Amino acid sequence: MTPEEIINKQTWEILQDIKEESLVPEEDGTFFYDTTRTVIAAGENSPSRERKFAIVRKLARDEKAIEIVEEIAPDWRGERNGFYLKVLQPQFDRVYEKYKKACDLTTYLKDYQEEMLKGDDNPSELYHMDGKKQTQKVSPIKHKGAMFPTGSGGGYYNRSHPIRPIKKQSAQEIVNGFSSSNYAFVLMVSEGILSASEFGSDGEANYQLQSAPGQLLMQERQLLSKFEELGLFRNLGEDGISAIAKLRDVDTVTIREIATEIKSRQLNPQAEPESKNEDLKTRQATTGQEIQWSGDFKWEGKRFVFGQYGNTGYFSSKDRKAMFEELVDAKGGWVTVKKLKAITKKGEDYVRPTLGQIERGLSKELRKFISIVSTEDDDMQPKPTEGSYRIKFSPKPL
């Protein structure tokens, strides 16, 4: 991959992150883009934090696609960093589509196929980043990898040579490599592969990717790559039209054990091993008792300070601050979604994703000890029967 292709790919990933966050903005249209945000499995040439800062500034300066309202620069204390942004329409959509056509081969092949079926003698061409079309047409037969022998998709296997698997691991060791917040996603993909395998033969499976285009689809592809590295199958590639991955030598025994292990941990969170520091934020103390709310947790202006662990940063939205005030007033106890809806005068479709954004906006260091959990992923008693959230605090190790 050339340096230009690496930058274009990284810009496309960042644009998808920005678009996702922009769907739940503040009242003034701003939203926070967290440059420490990561996906479940880091892909090849994933942008560093410094590269993310450079690309966001370029999108604002050169592309005129976004406005930087405030920049939260990195510092040695590990506080959160990133940007408060606004998207500038219609330019943002133009830039988004430009990088999508250039970097998302699935979109290009779909457009190409549709135009060929219509009898278009001059179908879509791939784009350079300056918006100009390539001078040479890209034909499916020139792509690396074997063509699909059957089907109407006209797709191709996008990789001929499988990844060499790393050292064999048990299902428990594999699950230990994921944070508990990603268990549901890993389980969904695992069960999808098992289901597809039932209709295959000789260890083959045609796995239909389940996520909608965007960040989740990228994560699903990265998870497939991670599974392949673990030796769970060989991925011959993906049909660029239908998003169907051709898997061979599928290790259904280990994948089924992974699904069983995840279900067991979801039913009994206390049984999850203490092997990952990143999961510390979702655990209780070793005594089994919930840690008491510390006396040095307090408000300082429009930010909340969790003593020696760090602070939330400045709350620019009165609705976000009001919800967080309710949570900290409960001192680790449950607050119902119904109450948070009443405070903000907004629906559940605002409350739930906004709480997720607040948590993602915390610094990486603070998120090791502080998390916002729901009744779906935490069992502290007494547990309400209706949907609720609370702030969970785990002690800092000595």
Tens-digit pLDDT profile for residues 85-115: 999 999 999 999 888 877 765 555 555 555 5
Q: pTM of the entire structure? A: 0.36
What is the mean pLDDT of the segment spanning 329-342?
90
The two tokens of residue 166 are 């790393």
Q: Tell me the pLDDT tens digit for each residue of 169-204.
A: 888 889 888 887 788 889 999 999 998 888 888 788
Q: Which residue has the higher pLDDT, 371 or 167?
A: 371
What is the mean pLDDT of the segment spanning 147-156?
37
Q: What is the DSSP string of 181-223?
A: GGHHHHHHHHHHHHHHHTT-STT-EEEEP-SPTTHHHHHHHHH
Q: Which residue has the higher pLDDT, 347 or 79?
A: 347
Element (H, E) at 87: strand 82-87
Distances (CA, A) of 354 to 77, 125, 289: 25, 39, 29
Say whether pLDDT at 338 is over 80. yes
Q: What is the DSSP letter of 55?
A: H
Confidence grade of residue 76 (pLDDT, cut at 50, 70, 90):
low
How much is the mean pLDDT over the chain? 76
What is the mean pLDDT of the segment spanning 359-373?
86
Please give the pLDDT value at position 316: 81
Question: Among 262, 297, 293, which Cα is nearest to 179's?
Answer: 262
Q: Tell me the pLDDT tens digit for each residue of 243-296.
A: 788 898 899 999 999 999 998 888 876 544 444 333 333 334 333 344 466 777
Confidence grade of residue 159 (pLDDT, cut at 50, 70, 90):
very low
345-351 long-range Cβ contacts below 8 angstroms, 24+ apart: 346/319, 348/387, 350/24, 350/319, 351/323
* CATH code, 3-98: 1.10.10
